Amino acid sequence: MKKFSKKIVWIFLICFYFFQIEIVRAIVPYYYFPTIKNLQKQSLYIGKNAYQLLYFGQYEDSLNLAKLSIKINPNNEKLWLILAEAQIANKKYKNALNSLNKAEQLNSNISEIYFAKSTVYLKISQQTKAKIALEKGIKIEPNNHKAIFQLGNILLMEKNYLGAIKLFDKSIKIKPDFWQAINNQGLAYFERKNINLSIKLFESAISIEENAEPLLGLASCINTQDNKLAIQLAKKALAKDPKYVNYDYRKEQLWGEKLQAATEILLQNEQLKKDVILAKSKINESS
């Protein structure tokens, strides 16, 4: 009987113990503590969203998300790159350089870091540093036709026309339909007074993409020998992109002094008067 009583007591105590545990669980809230792996995964997801917002032009929201992703995971170079891109879009160039330096410290073998640095340096008019950054990036990724093209553009700014032409040619060999490089070869050759080759290059660029820039470039080249066709081409160019009526805008597109002078003469033609006025009004409306 005593043994039986002891058993009953033990059973009662055990039941009471488990019952009390369930009561405690019901009262005390359960907290989930994410693992480092889960946090890193979440930061990458946030970074991806930041990049998408950047693509859709929501620059401020993109920057805020990119900052959040870095707070969660400051040891990921890709997130620093995304943050830098968002900072560039928001014209925070010094901050962007700091972010790119952080990315480089984490992984110095990513070409995009140096390409992004070159973009920032060009924005703040530091061409020499932009050139060095591009050269570093191209060493890592030697077949990046856009980076080679951009390096050619810097040489074009420096009036190193032969050097620029060689780089544009290298870029075209990698991507034969890269009309922008073909067009810029036309710009360079015009400054070297090789007008016939400029004409061929502008025509080649137009055959790939009927863009306003090679259209107006070609019009300026042939104005003295075929004024009628030059007027037609200029009209088409200004209709496609009115900004090319503006001297400063063409300068931003790396048009040299000789081509600029030829274009100004063309745009003063009486037959283009209405087109020039319309183009200027469209620029004023959009600004």
pLDDT per residue over 32-47, tens digit each?
A: 556 666 767 788 889 8
12 falls in which pLDDT band (50, 70, 90)?
very low
What is residue 36's predicted lDDT score, i.e. its pLDDT?
Answer: 63
Across the range 203-227, mean pLDDT stands at 98
Burial (CB < 10 A; 0-12, 13-18, 19+), residue 232, is: middle
Q: Taking 50 as the threshold, does the pLDDT of residue 21 lie above it?
A: no
Q: Taking 90 as the threshold, does the pLDDT of residue 13 lie above it?
A: no
Question: What pLDDT digit, counting tens, does each position of 118-129 carry?
Answer: 999 999 999 999
The kind and range of the H/E element at 272 are none
The CATH classification number of 39-107 equals 1.25.40.10
Question: What pLDDT digit, counting tens, does each position of 86-144 carry?
Answer: 999 999 999 999 999 999 999 999 999 999 999 999 999 999 999 999 999 999 999 99
Angle between helices 195-208 and 212-222 (to 10 degrees): 150
Across the range 61-66, mean pLDDT stands at 94
What percent of the chain shows pLDDT beyond 90? 81
Higher pLDDT, 186 or 22: 186
Token pair 């995304």 is at which residue? 82
Query: Is the CB of residue 88 less than 8 Å from the CB of residue 123?
Result: yes
Spatial separation of the C-alpha atoms in residues 106 and 148, rounded to whole Å: 25
Spatial separation of the C-alpha atoms in residues 209 and 207, rounded to whole Å: 6
Phi first, then psi, for residue 219 (nearest 5°) are -60, -45
Amino acid at 198: S
Angle between helices 212-222 and 227-240 (to 10 degrees): 160
What is residue 172's predicted lDDT score, i.e. its pLDDT?
Answer: 98
- Helix ranges restricted to H, the chain: 2-27, 36-55, 59-72, 77-89, 93-106, 111-123, 127-140, 145-157, 161-174, 179-191, 195-208, 212-222, 227-240, 247-252, 257-267, 273-286
What is residue 1's predicted lDDT score, i.e. its pLDDT?
Answer: 46
Spatial separation of the C-alpha atoms in residues 276 and 260, rounded to whole Å: 15
What percent of the chain shows pLDDT beyond 70? 86
Contacts of 165 (CB under 8 A, 6+ apart): 152, 185, 188, 189
> What are the boundaries of each domain within the chain?
39-107
Q: Taking 90 as the threshold, does the pLDDT of residue 17 lie above it?
A: no
What is residue 38's predicted lDDT score, i.e. its pLDDT?
Answer: 75
Give whole-number Cα distances, 225 to 26, 219, 228, in Å: 92, 10, 9
Rg (CA), the chain: 31
Q: Taking 70 as the threshold, does the pLDDT of residue 19 lie above it?
A: no
Residue 242 is given by DSSP the state G
Six token digits for residue 63: 């920057």
Spatial separation of the C-alpha atoms in residues 119 and 116, rounded to whole Å: 5
Average pLDDT over all residues of the chain:
90
Residue 30 is given by DSSP the state P
